[in-house]
Structure 1
Amino acid sequence: MKPVRWGILGAANFAKEQMAPAIHAAKGAELAALATSSPEKAAGFLAFCPGLKIHSTYEALLADPTIDAVYVPLPNHLHVEWTLKALTAGKHVLTEKPIALQASEIDQIIAARDASGLLAAEAYMIVHHPQWQLAKKWLEAGEIGTLRHVDAAFTYCLTDMENIRNRPEAGGGSLRDIGVYTFGSARFVTASEPVDIAARLILENGVDTFAQVSGIMDGPHGRFTYESITSMRLYNRQVVTFQGDKGMIRLDGGPFNANYNDIAEIELHQNGNKVITERFPTANHYVLQVEAFGRSVREGVAYPCPLEFIRGTQAMIDTVFKVGVEITL
């Protein structure tokens, strides 16, 4: 089957280090073009993909008739604009998270997607990883009994104040950067939505550097309590637990950055001190994401993480900003 030919808008470090190599390695994909006006930045991509075509502008890449799909790793506040431009140019588009800064903005992307018949998606890679799919399978199989509580934490310490995550005009803050993981992972595994939310936020220079969220979620597994902590000022920590009345599913060691800090691992704890551990040392969720995207484009397979799901997570973030109480420690 003909591979999907990819172009990348902008030579972001994350694109160079993660997504461009993933596109280059994925089955059914070909990394074909990059848009950047910087020869120095282009050099990092050409080092592992020497045949890459370099366009000096984003518009030139979108006008390239040989490109089927584009990946958008631009700063958060530019995501909606260039996602829509890519669709208008007739390109399938995978945009880095968050694809929008408000849930309502995603509606226009969905409308453009439907009108064009093209695939538009947010690069929410974790749902493609087997550890998260196994968590969902275990929960649905009743391995932990009745679900009672979910808690998630994602923290790291960012001291570079010039980083776009520390800039409000660029859509910075912990919730938009990593809240999509603590919220979205709970929604994905449980297929549930929040019915009550409370939050405490610490703001610095107009961005949330800490968010403590609690609430109640409801779905096919009934109602359960939920807690989340995100921060850009704490030591690295990533952990998610799903607790039932007969067991617990725990993802630790970097479940949102699988095999980066530690080997991807998931544990099933059950009565009688029984623990089942599954490890995934070779699974690359970025590669799996690109391959899933390609199957949807070439074979018409339903994309595992549609924009409608992404909108739900953004709506949850919107609510936290609305109800959150600013605190000072």
Structure 2
Amino acid sequence: MKPVRWGVLGAAKFAREHMAPAIHAAEGAELAALATSDPAKAEGFLAFCPGLQLHSSYDALLADPTIDAVYVPLPNHLHVEWSLKALAAGKHVLTEKPIALRAEQIDQIIAARDASGFLAAEAFMIVHHPQWQRAKEWLDAGEIGQLRHVDAAFSYNNAAEPGNIRNRPDTGGGSLRDIGVYTLGSMRFVTGAEPEDVAARIILDAGVEVFADLNAMMQGPTGRFTYRSMTSMRLANRQEVVFQGDKGMIRVGSAPFNANVHDVAEVELHLPGQRVITDRFPTANHYKLQVEAFGRSLRTGAAYPCPLEFVRGTQAMMDRALDTAMEISL
């Protein structure tokens, strides 16, 4: 079967360093086209994919009849617009997270997906990584007993970059919108839980939320548990998610979100008697696995592992937190 021919909308740094190489390397995929008005920005892509077709506009790429699917790495506030345009142009679309800034906007994409028959998905790559699948397997198998609490943290410091799109309210900036999808989405993926209530305290800097302390009571398939998420764009680097039960603990703490970039991917199972089982995944590339999962869904008709309905649940939880958040100062 012929490979899925991919086009990339925009020469974003993240696309150049991670997703475009992953598409190029993925089984059943072909990196075929890039849309950018600046030829200089295309050079980094051409370095590893010399045969790449260049288009001077996003619309020109969407009009290319040889392209099957597009990857959208544009700033947050443009995700809905170009996801809908891609579907309308007859393309499958994989859009960076968050795919929308409000849950109700995802409803538009779901409706367009269903009407068109094309696949639309958010690039929530971590669910394709074996460390997260292992964490879910351990939890589902009852290895830690009754789940009682989950806490997640993701932080970095970009205070020296005021022009960064993450530090701008007009481009959908903020720590929750940038990295809250990881802390909330990973918890929901592993536990299958939804919030009963949500509360948050936030810190604003120049109109952008740069710190969010979110607390919730969650209801999952096996009962209720408490949850806490901390995200920040003003703290030292930290990544960690802990699932704590009454008999043990699962910790994804080396590189839960930037696997094998931040550190080597590994997940720990802490059992009674201070016994710890550690599974390490030094070669897994979740970007490549994501592209391959997308392609399998197109070829076989199998359900995509992370559908927009799941993504909507994460965004709805984030919306509830931001809508009711209390501003604080530290």
In which range does the TM-score fall when normalised by the shorter chain? over 0.9
Q: Shift of the alpha carbon at 1:252?
A: 0.8
Do the aligned partners of 1:210 and 1:233 also contact (CA within 8 Å) in 2?
yes
Instruction: Specify the code of the residue in structure 2 equivalent to 1:232.
Output: M
Which residue is equivalent to 1:170?
A: 171
> Aligned ranges for residues 22-41 of structure 1 at < 5 Å?
22-41=22-41
**TM-score normalised to structure 1 length:** 0.99
Which residue is equivalent to 2:143?
A: 143
Residues of 1 paired with 2:113 and 2:197: CA distance?
A: 31
Q: Shift of the alpha carbon at 1:296?
A: 0.5
Which residue is equivalent to 1:3?
A: 3
Residues of 2 paired with 1:177 and 1:261: CA distance?
A: 17
Runs of 5+ unmatched residues, structure 2: none
Do the aligned partners of 1:200 and 1:326 also contact (CA within 8 Å) in 2?
yes
Residues of 2 paired with 1:94 and 1:221: CA distance?
A: 32
Residues of 2 paired with 1:221 and 1:160: CA distance?
A: 44
Residues of 1 paired with 2:105 and 2:93: CA distance?
A: 16
Instruction: Specify the code of the residue in structure 1 equivalent to 2:59.
Output: E
Aligned pair 1:253/2:254, yes or no?
A: yes
Instruction: Specify the code of the residue in structure 1 equivalent to 2:129.
Output: H
Instruction: Specify the code of the residue in structure 2 equivalent to 1:261.
Output: H
Instruction: Specify the code of the residue in structure 1 equivalent to 2:92.
Output: H
C-alpha RMSD of matched pairs (Å): 0.5
Which residue is equivalent to 1:57?
A: 57
Aligned pairs, how many?
Answer: 329
Which residue is equivalent to 1:211?
A: 212
Aligned pair 1:85/2:105, yes or no?
A: no
SS at match of 1:272: helix
Q: Shift of the alpha carbon at 1:323?
A: 1.3
Which residue is equivalent to 1:296?
A: 297
Q: Shift of the alpha carbon at 1:273?
A: 1.1
SS at match of 1:319: helix
Residues of 2 paired with 1:204 and 1:52: CA distance?
A: 41
Aligned pair 1:269/2:270, yes or no?
A: yes
Runs of 5+ unmatched residues, structure 1: none
Which residue is equivalent to 1:76?
A: 76
Instruction: Specify the code of the residue in structure 1 equivalent to 2:286.
Output: H
SS at match of 1:224: strand
SS at match of 2:296: helix
Q: Shift of the alpha carbon at 1:206?
A: 1.2
Do the aligned partners of 1:144 and 1:248 also contact (CA within 8 Å) in 2?
yes
Residues of 2 paired with 1:37 and 1:314: CA distance?
A: 32
Do the aligned partners of 1:24 and 1:49 also contact (CA within 8 Å) in 2?
yes
Instruction: Specify the code of the residue in structure 1 equivalent to 2:294.
Output: F
Runs of 4+ in 1 over 6 A off after TM superposition: none
CA-to-partner distance for each residue in 1:241-276, whole Å, 9 max, x for gaps? 000000000011121000002110100001111110
Which residue is equivalent to 1:125?
A: 125
Do the aligned partners of 1:237 and 1:254 also contact (CA within 8 Å) in 2?
no
Do the aligned partners of 1:247 and 1:268 also contact (CA within 8 Å) in 2?
yes
CA-to-partner distance for each residue in 1:179-209, whole Å, 9 max, x for gaps? 0000000000000001111110001111110
**Percent of aligned pairs with the same residue?**
75
Which residue is equivalent to 2:155?
A: 155
Instruction: Specify the code of the residue in structure 2 equivalent to 1:128.
Output: H
Do the aligned partners of 1:36 and 1:54 also contact (CA within 8 Å) in 2?
yes
SS at match of 1:169: helix
CA-to-partner distance for each residue in 1:121-150, whole Å, 9 max, x for gaps? 000000000000000000000000000000
Residues of 1 paired with 2:129 and 2:222: CA distance?
A: 22
Instruction: Specify the code of the residue in structure 1 equivalent to 2:295.
Output: G
SS at match of 1:196: strand
